Protein backbone atom coordinates (compact mmCIF):
# COMPACT_ATOMS: atom_id res chain seq x y z
CA UNK A 1 0.00 0.00 0.00
CA UNK A 2 2.75 2.45 0.97
CA UNK A 3 4.59 1.50 -2.18
CA UNK A 4 1.60 2.70 -4.21
CA UNK A 5 1.55 6.02 -2.34
CA UNK A 6 5.27 6.42 -2.95
CA UNK A 7 4.95 5.44 -6.61
CA UNK A 8 2.16 7.98 -7.15
CA UNK A 9 4.19 10.67 -5.40
CA UNK A 10 7.31 10.27 -7.53
CA UNK A 11 5.19 9.86 -10.65
CA UNK A 12 3.52 13.27 -10.33
CA UNK A 13 4.19 16.04 -12.81
CA UNK A 14 6.57 18.83 -11.75
CA UNK A 15 3.68 21.20 -11.12
CA UNK A 16 1.85 18.70 -8.91
CA UNK A 17 5.01 17.86 -7.00
CA UNK A 18 5.49 21.57 -6.33
CA UNK A 19 1.91 21.91 -5.09
CA UNK A 20 2.30 18.80 -2.94
CA UNK A 21 5.52 20.17 -1.40
CA UNK A 22 3.74 23.38 -0.38
CA UNK A 23 0.79 21.38 0.98
CA UNK A 24 3.08 19.11 3.03
CA UNK A 25 4.87 22.13 4.48
CA UNK A 26 1.56 23.70 5.47
CA UNK A 27 0.49 20.38 6.97
CA UNK A 28 3.62 20.19 9.12
CA UNK A 29 2.97 23.70 10.48
CA UNK A 30 -0.39 22.53 11.85
CA UNK A 31 1.55 20.40 14.34
CA UNK A 32 2.81 23.64 15.94
CA UNK A 33 1.00 25.89 18.42
CA UNK A 34 -1.80 26.82 18.49
CA UNK A 35 -3.05 23.75 16.55
CA UNK A 36 -0.90 21.03 18.17
CA UNK A 37 -1.83 18.26 15.67
CA UNK A 38 1.45 16.47 16.37
CA UNK A 39 0.83 13.29 14.28
CA UNK A 40 0.92 15.44 11.13
CA UNK A 41 4.72 15.55 11.31
CA UNK A 42 4.77 11.95 10.02
CA UNK A 43 2.92 12.38 6.71
CA UNK A 44 4.52 15.81 6.22
CA UNK A 45 8.16 14.78 6.60
CA UNK A 46 7.63 11.34 5.09
CA UNK A 47 6.10 12.94 2.02
CA UNK A 48 8.97 15.40 1.80
CA UNK A 49 11.48 12.52 1.96
CA UNK A 50 9.71 10.82 -0.95
CA UNK A 51 9.72 14.04 -2.96
CA UNK A 52 13.44 14.49 -2.27
CA UNK A 53 14.08 10.93 -3.36
CA UNK A 54 12.25 11.65 -6.61
CA UNK A 55 14.31 14.83 -7.01
CA UNK A 56 17.51 12.81 -6.52
CA UNK A 57 16.65 10.80 -9.63
CA UNK A 58 15.76 13.75 -11.81
CA UNK A 59 18.06 15.11 -14.54
CA UNK A 60 19.16 17.97 -12.24
CA UNK A 61 18.96 16.40 -8.78
CA UNK A 62 20.46 19.15 -6.64
CA UNK A 63 18.41 21.90 -8.24
CA UNK A 64 15.24 19.80 -7.95
CA UNK A 65 15.94 18.94 -4.30
CA UNK A 66 16.56 22.58 -3.42
CA UNK A 67 13.37 23.75 -5.13
CA UNK A 68 11.29 20.97 -3.53
CA UNK A 69 12.50 21.68 0.00
CA UNK A 70 12.15 25.44 -0.53
CA UNK A 71 8.50 24.98 -1.53
CA UNK A 72 7.97 22.82 1.55
CA UNK A 73 9.45 25.64 3.63
CA UNK A 74 7.20 28.19 1.97
CA UNK A 75 4.14 26.19 3.02
CA UNK A 76 5.56 25.69 6.50
CA UNK A 77 6.22 29.37 7.13
CA UNK A 78 3.14 30.72 5.32
CA UNK A 79 1.00 28.89 7.85
CA UNK A 80 3.39 29.07 10.80
CA UNK A 81 4.10 32.81 10.70
CA UNK A 82 0.99 34.10 8.95
CA UNK A 83 0.54 36.44 11.93
CA UNK A 84 3.29 38.64 10.46
CA UNK A 85 0.49 40.50 8.65
CA UNK A 86 -1.00 41.69 11.96
CA UNK A 87 1.46 44.58 12.61
CA UNK A 88 0.67 45.99 9.18
CA UNK A 89 -3.03 46.11 10.07
CA UNK A 90 -2.49 48.31 13.13
CA UNK A 91 -2.22 51.25 10.74
CA UNK A 92 -3.66 49.66 7.62
CA UNK A 93 -3.94 52.95 5.72
CA UNK A 94 -0.19 53.47 5.99
CA UNK A 95 1.21 49.92 5.95
CA UNK A 96 -1.54 47.65 4.59
CA UNK A 97 -0.14 47.70 1.06
CA UNK A 98 3.04 46.03 2.32
CA UNK A 99 1.24 42.91 3.53
CA UNK A 100 1.74 40.76 0.39
CA UNK A 101 5.41 41.74 0.22
CA UNK A 102 5.94 41.11 3.96
CA UNK A 103 4.27 37.69 3.96
CA UNK A 104 5.95 36.55 0.74
CA UNK A 105 9.41 37.75 1.76
CA UNK A 106 9.10 36.28 5.26
CA UNK A 107 7.96 32.86 4.07
CA UNK A 108 10.29 32.80 1.06
CA UNK A 109 13.30 34.00 3.03
CA UNK A 110 12.86 31.59 5.93
CA UNK A 111 12.21 28.77 3.44
CA UNK A 112 15.84 29.09 2.33
CA UNK A 113 16.82 27.09 5.43
CA UNK A 114 14.71 24.04 4.47
CA UNK A 115 15.98 24.55 0.89
CA UNK A 116 19.55 24.25 2.11
CA UNK A 117 18.53 21.16 4.06
CA UNK A 118 17.13 19.49 0.95
CA UNK A 119 20.18 20.41 -1.13
CA UNK A 120 22.71 19.10 1.38
CA UNK A 121 20.72 15.96 2.17
CA UNK A 122 20.57 14.89 -1.48
CA UNK A 123 24.18 15.93 -2.09
CA UNK A 124 25.37 13.80 0.85
CA UNK A 125 23.13 10.90 -0.17
CA UNK A 126 24.63 10.91 -3.67
CA UNK A 127 28.20 11.38 -2.50
CA UNK A 128 28.17 8.71 0.23
CA UNK A 129 25.48 6.40 -1.20
CA UNK A 130 23.10 7.00 1.70
CA UNK A 131 19.65 5.46 1.58
CA UNK A 132 16.77 4.30 3.73
CA UNK A 133 17.14 5.07 7.45
CA UNK A 134 20.60 6.55 6.89
CA UNK A 135 19.18 9.12 4.49
CA UNK A 136 16.28 9.96 6.85
CA UNK A 137 18.67 10.45 9.77
CA UNK A 138 20.90 12.61 7.59
CA UNK A 139 17.96 14.78 6.65
CA UNK A 140 16.94 15.21 10.31
CA UNK A 141 20.46 16.12 11.38
CA UNK A 142 20.88 18.68 8.60
CA UNK A 143 17.42 20.14 9.35
CA UNK A 144 18.41 20.76 12.98
CA UNK A 145 21.77 22.23 12.02
CA UNK A 146 19.94 24.80 9.91
CA UNK A 147 17.47 25.47 12.74
CA UNK A 148 20.53 26.35 14.81
CA UNK A 149 21.90 28.55 12.00
CA UNK A 150 18.53 30.28 11.82
CA UNK A 151 18.84 31.09 15.53
CA UNK A 152 21.75 33.49 14.94
CA UNK A 153 22.18 34.32 11.24
CA UNK A 154 21.19 37.94 10.43
CA UNK A 155 20.48 38.49 14.18
CA UNK A 156 18.48 35.24 14.30
CA UNK A 157 14.86 34.15 14.25
CA UNK A 158 14.49 30.73 15.93
CA UNK A 159 10.70 30.81 15.75
CA UNK A 160 8.64 27.63 15.27
CA UNK A 161 11.50 25.18 15.57
CA UNK A 162 10.29 21.64 14.95
CA UNK A 163 10.53 20.70 18.63
CA UNK A 164 7.81 23.19 19.55
CA UNK A 165 5.19 20.80 18.19
CA UNK A 166 5.34 19.26 21.69
CA UNK A 167 4.50 22.54 23.44
CA UNK A 168 1.17 21.15 24.64
CA UNK A 169 2.83 17.92 25.82
CA UNK A 170 4.79 18.90 28.95
CA UNK A 171 6.04 15.35 29.46
CA UNK A 172 7.97 15.40 26.18
CA UNK A 173 9.13 19.00 26.66
CA UNK A 174 10.98 17.95 29.83
CA UNK A 175 13.65 16.66 27.45
CA UNK A 176 14.54 20.31 26.79
CA UNK A 177 16.08 20.45 30.28
CA UNK A 178 18.63 17.90 29.07
CA UNK A 179 19.15 18.46 25.34
CA UNK A 180 17.48 21.83 24.72
CA UNK A 181 14.89 22.57 22.07
CA UNK A 182 17.34 21.59 19.31
CA UNK A 183 17.57 18.10 20.77
CA UNK A 184 13.77 17.88 20.89
CA UNK A 185 13.67 19.05 17.26
CA UNK A 186 16.07 16.29 16.27
CA UNK A 187 13.87 13.60 17.83
CA UNK A 188 10.79 15.14 16.16
CA UNK A 189 12.19 15.28 12.63
CA UNK A 190 13.69 11.79 12.94
CA UNK A 191 10.28 10.46 14.03
CA UNK A 192 8.61 12.19 11.08
CA UNK A 193 11.13 11.25 8.39
CA UNK A 194 11.99 7.62 9.14
CA UNK A 195 8.55 6.20 8.12
CA UNK A 196 9.51 7.05 4.54
CA UNK A 197 11.46 3.77 4.50
CA UNK A 198 8.19 1.82 4.67
CA UNK A 199 7.84 2.34 0.93
CA UNK A 200 10.54 -0.29 0.65
CA UNK A 201 10.48 -3.92 1.67
CA UNK A 202 11.95 -5.90 4.51
CA UNK A 203 11.35 -6.32 8.21
CA UNK A 204 14.24 -4.02 9.08
CA UNK A 205 12.26 -1.06 7.80
CA UNK A 206 9.39 -1.80 10.18
CA UNK A 207 11.81 -2.22 13.07
CA UNK A 208 13.38 1.17 12.29
CA UNK A 209 9.99 2.89 12.27
CA UNK A 210 9.02 1.17 15.51
CA UNK A 211 12.24 2.33 17.18
CA UNK A 212 12.51 5.89 15.88
CA UNK A 213 8.87 6.91 15.40
CA UNK A 214 7.12 5.10 18.24
CA UNK A 215 9.52 3.83 20.91
CA UNK A 216 11.81 6.88 21.03
CA UNK A 217 9.06 9.53 21.54
CA UNK A 218 7.25 7.18 23.94
CA UNK A 219 10.43 6.71 25.98
CA UNK A 220 10.93 10.47 26.12
CA UNK A 221 7.30 10.90 27.23
CA UNK A 222 7.72 8.29 30.00
CA UNK A 223 10.92 9.93 31.22
CA UNK A 224 9.25 13.33 31.26
CA UNK A 225 6.21 11.96 33.09
CA UNK A 226 8.48 10.52 35.78
CA UNK A 227 10.29 13.84 36.11
CA UNK A 228 7.00 15.71 36.52
CA UNK A 229 5.67 13.03 38.86
CA UNK A 230 8.52 13.67 41.29
CA UNK A 231 8.40 17.46 40.91
CA UNK A 232 6.95 19.64 43.68
CA UNK A 233 3.66 21.42 43.14
CA UNK A 234 3.65 25.22 42.97
CA UNK A 235 0.39 26.90 43.93
CA UNK A 236 -0.17 30.62 43.38
CA UNK A 237 -1.81 31.21 46.78
CA UNK A 238 0.52 28.97 48.75
CA UNK A 239 4.07 29.57 49.92
CA UNK A 240 5.08 25.94 49.39
CA UNK A 241 7.92 25.91 46.91
CA UNK A 242 7.81 29.70 46.64
CA UNK A 243 10.40 32.37 47.42
CA UNK A 244 9.65 33.66 50.95
CA UNK A 245 8.18 37.13 51.42
CA UNK A 246 7.60 37.72 47.70
CA UNK A 247 4.16 38.30 46.25
CA UNK A 248 3.90 39.40 42.64
CA UNK A 249 1.12 41.26 40.89
CA UNK A 250 1.22 41.12 37.10
CA UNK A 251 -0.92 43.70 35.33
CA UNK A 252 -2.48 42.90 31.95
CA UNK A 253 -4.28 46.08 30.91
CA UNK A 254 -5.30 44.76 27.46
CA UNK A 255 -4.80 48.06 25.62
CA UNK A 256 -5.36 47.71 21.84
CA UNK A 257 -2.27 48.56 19.81
CA UNK A 258 -4.21 51.10 17.75
CA UNK A 259 -4.85 53.12 20.92
CA UNK A 260 -1.56 52.61 22.71
CA UNK A 261 0.34 55.61 21.33
CA UNK A 262 -2.53 58.09 20.86
CA UNK A 263 -1.30 61.26 22.58
CA UNK A 264 -4.60 62.06 24.30
CA UNK A 265 -4.78 58.56 25.83
CA UNK A 266 -1.25 58.11 27.15
CA UNK A 267 -1.96 59.49 30.60
CA UNK A 268 -5.20 57.48 30.72
CA UNK A 269 -3.27 54.28 29.94
CA UNK A 270 -0.75 55.03 32.69
CA UNK A 271 -3.51 55.72 35.21
CA UNK A 272 -5.22 52.50 34.19
CA UNK A 273 -2.09 50.51 35.03
CA UNK A 274 -1.79 52.30 38.38
CA UNK A 275 -5.42 51.65 39.29
CA UNK A 276 -5.15 47.95 38.45
CA UNK A 277 -1.93 47.72 40.46
CA UNK A 278 -3.58 49.16 43.55
CA UNK A 279 -6.85 47.26 43.52
CA UNK A 280 -7.56 45.15 46.60
CA UNK A 281 -6.57 41.49 46.65
CA UNK A 282 -9.58 39.18 46.13
CA UNK A 283 -8.85 37.33 49.37
CA UNK A 284 -8.22 39.53 52.41
CA UNK A 285 -6.16 36.76 54.03
CA UNK A 286 -3.74 36.66 51.11
CA UNK A 287 -0.49 38.54 51.40
CA UNK A 288 -0.69 41.84 49.48
CA UNK A 289 1.69 42.35 46.55
CA UNK A 290 5.30 43.14 47.35
CA UNK A 291 6.18 43.80 43.70
CA UNK A 292 4.13 44.91 40.69
CA UNK A 293 5.07 44.06 37.10
CA UNK A 294 3.88 45.87 33.97
CA UNK A 295 4.46 44.77 30.34
CA UNK A 296 6.82 46.08 27.67
CA UNK A 297 6.39 49.85 26.99
CA UNK A 298 3.48 49.95 29.43
CA UNK A 299 4.55 53.51 30.28
CA UNK A 300 4.29 55.66 27.12
CA UNK A 301 6.71 58.30 28.44
CA UNK A 302 10.46 58.71 28.93
CA UNK A 303 10.33 58.13 32.67
CA UNK A 304 13.88 59.18 33.48
CA UNK A 305 13.23 62.69 32.10
CA UNK A 306 9.57 63.01 33.12
CA UNK A 307 9.38 63.52 36.88
CA UNK A 308 5.61 64.00 36.88
CA UNK A 309 4.79 60.76 35.07
CA UNK A 310 7.41 58.87 37.07
CA UNK A 311 5.69 60.04 40.26
CA UNK A 312 2.36 58.79 38.92
CA UNK A 313 3.87 55.39 38.09
CA UNK A 314 5.57 55.17 41.49
CA UNK A 315 2.16 55.13 43.18
CA UNK A 316 1.87 51.53 41.95
CA UNK A 317 5.02 50.45 43.79
CA UNK A 318 4.18 48.60 47.04
CA UNK A 319 5.74 49.92 50.25
CA UNK A 320 9.20 48.40 50.61
CA UNK A 321 8.93 46.78 47.19
CA UNK A 322 9.14 48.01 43.63
CA UNK A 323 7.34 48.42 40.33
CA UNK A 324 9.00 46.79 37.33
CA UNK A 325 7.69 48.51 34.20
CA UNK A 326 8.53 48.60 30.52
CA UNK A 327 9.17 52.04 29.01
CA UNK A 328 11.34 53.73 26.42
CA UNK A 329 14.50 55.32 27.78
CA UNK A 330 16.24 58.34 26.25
CA UNK A 331 19.85 59.45 26.59
CA UNK A 332 20.52 62.28 29.04
CA UNK A 333 23.43 63.50 26.91
CA UNK A 334 22.39 66.67 25.01
CA UNK A 335 22.27 66.08 21.27
CA UNK A 336 22.80 62.32 21.63
CA UNK A 337 19.32 61.31 20.47
CA UNK A 338 19.68 57.64 21.43
CA UNK A 339 16.77 55.75 22.93
CA UNK A 340 16.33 52.24 24.28
CA UNK A 341 13.48 49.80 24.89
CA UNK A 342 13.92 49.35 28.63
CA UNK A 343 12.63 47.86 31.85
CA UNK A 344 12.81 50.05 34.96
CA UNK A 345 12.61 49.08 38.63
CA UNK A 346 10.88 52.02 40.35
CA UNK A 347 10.59 52.44 44.10
CA UNK A 348 7.72 54.09 45.94
CA UNK A 349 9.58 57.40 46.24
CA UNK A 350 9.82 57.68 42.45
CA UNK A 351 13.44 56.64 42.19
CA UNK A 352 14.59 54.41 39.31
CA UNK A 353 16.58 51.82 41.20
CA UNK A 354 17.91 50.14 38.06
CA UNK A 355 17.23 49.70 34.37
CA UNK A 356 17.78 47.10 31.67
CA UNK A 357 18.00 47.99 27.97
CA UNK A 358 16.83 45.45 25.42
CA UNK A 359 19.73 43.79 23.63
CA UNK A 360 18.11 41.84 20.79
CA UNK A 361 16.11 44.26 18.67
CA UNK A 362 13.34 43.47 16.19
CA UNK A 363 14.20 44.42 12.59
CA UNK A 364 11.69 46.91 11.13
CA UNK A 365 9.98 47.06 14.52
CA UNK A 366 12.72 48.82 16.48
CA UNK A 367 15.28 49.59 13.80
CA UNK A 368 15.60 49.46 10.03
CA UNK A 369 18.47 47.33 8.70
CA UNK A 370 20.49 49.17 6.05
CA UNK A 371 18.67 52.41 6.78
CA UNK A 372 19.38 54.85 3.97
CA UNK A 373 19.41 52.03 1.42
CA UNK A 374 16.09 50.29 1.99
CA UNK A 375 13.08 52.52 1.18
CA UNK A 376 11.25 51.37 4.33
CA UNK A 377 10.48 52.74 7.77
CA UNK A 378 9.63 51.19 11.12
CA UNK A 379 6.15 50.06 11.99
CA UNK A 380 6.20 51.70 15.43
CA UNK A 381 5.20 55.35 15.59
CA UNK A 382 8.17 56.93 17.38
CA UNK A 383 10.89 58.56 15.32
CA UNK A 384 14.36 57.12 14.86
CA UNK A 385 15.81 53.71 15.57
CA UNK A 386 16.01 52.17 19.02
CA UNK A 387 19.53 51.33 20.19
CA UNK A 388 20.60 47.95 21.54
CA UNK A 389 21.65 47.55 25.16
CA UNK A 390 25.17 46.59 26.19
CA UNK A 391 24.40 42.91 26.87
CA UNK A 392 22.51 40.34 28.89
CA UNK A 393 22.08 41.47 32.50
CA UNK A 394 21.29 39.91 35.85
CA UNK A 395 19.57 42.54 37.99
CA UNK A 396 19.24 42.72 41.75
CA UNK A 397 15.81 44.28 42.25
CA UNK A 398 15.16 45.15 45.91
CA UNK A 399 13.33 42.34 47.70
CA UNK A 400 13.65 39.83 44.83
CA UNK A 401 16.10 37.09 43.81
CA UNK A 402 18.46 38.10 40.98
CA UNK A 403 16.50 38.23 37.73
CA UNK A 404 17.30 37.98 34.04
CA UNK A 405 14.99 40.41 32.20
CA UNK A 406 13.87 39.55 28.67
CA UNK A 407 11.97 42.12 26.65
CA UNK A 408 9.64 40.89 23.92
CA UNK A 409 11.18 38.23 21.69
CA UNK A 410 14.48 38.04 23.60
CA UNK A 411 12.86 34.96 25.16
CA UNK A 412 12.92 33.01 21.88
CA UNK A 413 16.70 32.46 21.76
CA UNK A 414 17.77 29.10 23.22
CA UNK A 415 20.82 29.25 25.45
CA UNK A 416 20.93 33.05 25.34
CA UNK A 417 18.53 34.16 28.08
CA UNK A 418 20.89 34.34 31.08
CA UNK A 419 24.40 35.44 31.94
CA UNK A 420 26.29 32.27 32.79
CA UNK A 421 28.70 34.16 35.05
CA UNK A 422 25.84 35.72 37.06
CA UNK A 423 23.17 33.05 37.51
CA UNK A 424 19.67 34.51 38.07
CA UNK A 425 16.94 32.97 40.18
CA UNK A 426 14.16 33.60 37.66
CA UNK A 427 13.33 34.90 34.19
CA UNK A 428 11.16 37.96 33.58
CA UNK A 429 9.61 38.42 30.15
CA UNK A 430 7.97 41.81 29.46
CA UNK A 431 6.21 41.85 26.11
CA UNK A 432 3.53 43.54 24.05
CA UNK A 433 2.02 40.90 21.79
CA UNK A 434 -0.85 43.20 20.82
CA UNK A 435 1.16 43.72 17.63
CA UNK A 436 0.52 40.12 16.62
CA UNK A 437 -3.23 39.76 16.96
CA UNK A 438 -5.18 37.35 19.12
CA UNK A 439 -4.43 33.95 17.63
CA UNK A 440 -1.29 32.17 16.49
CA UNK A 441 1.44 34.77 17.08
CA UNK A 442 0.90 35.36 20.82
CA UNK A 443 0.26 31.67 21.51
CA UNK A 444 3.45 30.63 19.73
CA UNK A 445 5.44 33.33 21.53
CA UNK A 446 4.13 32.11 24.87
CA UNK A 447 4.94 28.45 24.13
CA UNK A 448 8.46 29.39 23.06
CA UNK A 449 9.06 31.47 26.20
CA UNK A 450 7.83 28.63 28.43
CA UNK A 451 10.43 26.33 26.89
CA UNK A 452 13.19 28.63 28.18
CA UNK A 453 11.96 27.94 31.74
CA UNK A 454 12.28 24.18 31.17
CA UNK A 455 15.72 24.49 29.58
CA UNK A 456 17.14 26.69 32.32
CA UNK A 457 15.30 25.16 35.29
CA UNK A 458 14.13 28.65 36.22
CA UNK A 459 10.65 30.02 36.87
CA UNK A 460 9.38 32.44 34.26
CA UNK A 461 7.19 35.44 34.99
CA UNK A 462 5.56 36.92 31.92
CA UNK A 463 3.72 40.23 31.68
CA UNK A 464 2.00 40.81 28.31
CA UNK A 465 -0.15 43.82 27.43
CA UNK A 466 -2.93 41.78 25.82
CA UNK A 467 -1.80 38.34 27.01
CA UNK A 468 -0.66 35.72 27.57
CA UNK A 469 0.59 36.74 31.04
CA UNK A 470 1.62 33.97 33.41
CA UNK A 471 3.75 32.65 36.22
CA UNK A 472 5.50 29.47 35.05
CA UNK A 473 7.32 27.04 37.33
CA UNK A 474 10.81 25.69 36.46
CA UNK A 475 9.22 22.61 34.84
CA UNK A 476 7.25 24.73 32.36
CA UNK A 477 3.89 24.33 34.12
CA UNK A 478 1.59 27.36 34.56
CA UNK A 479 1.07 28.39 38.18
CA UNK A 480 -1.25 31.26 37.22
CA UNK A 481 -2.23 32.61 33.83
CA UNK A 482 -4.34 35.22 32.04
CA UNK A 483 -5.39 34.40 28.48
CA UNK A 484 -5.50 36.52 25.36
CA UNK A 485 -7.69 39.61 25.19
CA UNK A 486 -8.42 39.65 28.92
CA UNK A 487 -8.03 42.63 31.26
CA UNK A 488 -6.96 41.64 34.76
CA UNK A 489 -4.18 40.95 37.23
CA UNK A 490 -2.33 37.87 38.41
CA UNK A 491 -1.45 37.63 42.11
CA UNK A 492 1.04 34.87 42.78
CA UNK A 493 4.10 33.90 44.67
CA UNK A 494 7.40 33.43 42.83
CA UNK A 495 8.40 29.76 42.38
CA UNK A 496 11.87 28.80 43.49
CA UNK A 497 14.44 27.81 40.91
CA UNK A 498 15.58 24.18 40.78
CA UNK A 499 18.20 23.33 43.41
CA UNK A 500 20.80 22.59 40.72
CA UNK A 501 21.38 23.61 37.14
CA UNK A 502 19.76 21.55 34.41
CA UNK A 503 22.18 19.77 32.07
CA UNK A 504 21.22 22.19 29.29
CA UNK A 505 21.81 25.21 31.54
CA UNK A 506 25.23 23.78 32.42
CA UNK A 507 26.39 22.63 28.98
CA UNK A 508 24.17 24.49 26.53
CA UNK A 509 24.12 23.50 22.87
CA UNK A 510 27.04 21.12 23.34
CA UNK A 511 24.41 18.52 24.31
CA UNK A 512 22.29 18.65 21.10
CA UNK A 513 25.59 18.79 19.21
CA UNK A 514 26.51 15.52 20.92
CA UNK A 515 23.22 14.02 19.74
CA UNK A 516 24.06 15.08 16.20
CA UNK A 517 27.37 13.26 16.61
CA UNK A 518 25.55 10.09 17.64
CA UNK A 519 23.25 10.39 14.62
CA UNK A 520 26.29 10.78 12.38
CA UNK A 521 27.75 7.55 13.76
CA UNK A 522 24.43 5.79 13.08
CA UNK A 523 24.44 7.07 9.52
CA UNK A 524 27.94 5.72 9.00
CA UNK A 525 26.84 2.34 10.39
CA UNK A 526 23.73 2.25 8.20
CA UNK A 527 25.10 3.60 4.94
CA UNK A 528 25.04 0.15 3.36
CA UNK A 529 21.27 -0.17 4.05
CA UNK A 530 18.72 -0.71 1.28
CA UNK A 531 17.16 2.14 -0.65
CA UNK A 532 13.49 2.97 -0.38
CA UNK A 533 13.61 4.43 -3.90
CA UNK A 534 11.21 2.37 -6.04
CA UNK A 535 13.06 2.30 -9.32
**Collapsed DSSP state (helix, strand, coil) of residue 345:** strand
Q: In three state form, how does the secondary structure of 51-82 look?
A: HHHHHHCCCCHHHHHHHHHHHHHHHHHHHHCH
Residue 296 a catalytic site member: yes
Phi then psi dihedrals of residue 31, to 5 deg: -80, -15
- Report how far residue 315's alpha carbon sits from residue 40's, in angstroms, rounded to the nearest whole number: 51
Spot the catalytic one: 86, 147, 260, 358: 358
Q: Are 53 and 533 in contact (CB under 8 A)?
A: yes
Edge-to-edge strand ranges of the sheet holding 352-357: 352-357, 339-346, 322-330, 291-293, 248-252, 488-492
Q: In three state form, how does the secondary structure of 405-468 look?
A: EEEHHHHHCCCCCCCCCCCCCEEEEEECHHHHCCCHHHHHHHHHHHHHHHHHCCCEEEEECCCC
SS3 content of the chain, % helix, strand, coil (to 5): 50, 15, 35
Among 50, 57, 51, 56, residue whose Cα is nearest residue 2: 50
Beta bridge partners of 464: 431
**Collapsed DSSP state (helix, strand, coil) of residue 354:** strand
Spot the catalytic one: 86, 408, 410, 455: 408
CB atoms within 10 A of CB 391: 8
Query: Within its chain, how far is the Cα of 401 from the centroid?
Result: 25
- Report how far residue 46's alpha carbon sits from residue 209's, in angstroms, rounded to the nearest whole number: 11
- Report how far residue 223's alpha carbon sits from residue 315's, in angstroms, rounded to the nearest whole number: 48
Radius of gyration (C-alpha) of the chain in whole angstroms: 25
- Report how far residue 450's alpha carbon sits from residue 430's, in angstroms, rounded to the nearest whole number: 13
The overall longest dimension of the chain from CA atoms, in Å, is: 78
44 Cβ contact list (under 8 Å, min separation 6): 24, 25, 27, 28, 31, 192
How far apart are the two ends of the chain, measured CA to CA in Å?
A: 16
Spot the catalytic one: 86, 147, 260, 296: 296
Q: Are 49 and 136 in contact (CB under 8 A)?
A: yes
Residue 358 a catalytic site member: yes
- Report how far residue 419's alpha carbon sits from residue 17's, in angstroms, rounded to the nearest whole number: 47
- Report how far residue 202's alpha carbon sits from residue 502's, in angstroms, rounded to the nearest whole number: 41
Conformational region of residue 386, where left means phi above 0, alpha means psi within -120 to 50, and beta covers everything else: beta
Q: Which residues of 70-82 are buried (b: 16+ CB within 10 A; e: fewer)?
A: bbbbbbbbbbbbb
Among 530, 523, 531, 533, residue whose Cα is nearest residue 140: 523
Residue 455 a catalytic site member: no
Catalytic residues: 296, 358, 408
Amino acid sequence: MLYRFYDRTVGLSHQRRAALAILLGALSALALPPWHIVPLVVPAFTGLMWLLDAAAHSPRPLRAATATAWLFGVGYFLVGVHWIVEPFLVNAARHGGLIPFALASMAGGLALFPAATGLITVALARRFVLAGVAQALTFAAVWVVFEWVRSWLFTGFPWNLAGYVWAATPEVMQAAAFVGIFGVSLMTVVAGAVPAVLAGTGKRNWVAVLVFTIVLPAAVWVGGAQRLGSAPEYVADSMDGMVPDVRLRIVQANIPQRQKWISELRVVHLQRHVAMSRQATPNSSTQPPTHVIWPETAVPFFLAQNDAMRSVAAVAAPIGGALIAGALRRSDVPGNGQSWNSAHAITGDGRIAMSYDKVHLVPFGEYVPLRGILPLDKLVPNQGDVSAGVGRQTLAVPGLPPVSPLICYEAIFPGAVVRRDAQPGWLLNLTNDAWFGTFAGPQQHFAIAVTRAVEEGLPLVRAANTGISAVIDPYGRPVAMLGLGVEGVIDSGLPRMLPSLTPYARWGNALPAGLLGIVTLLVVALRVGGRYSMQ
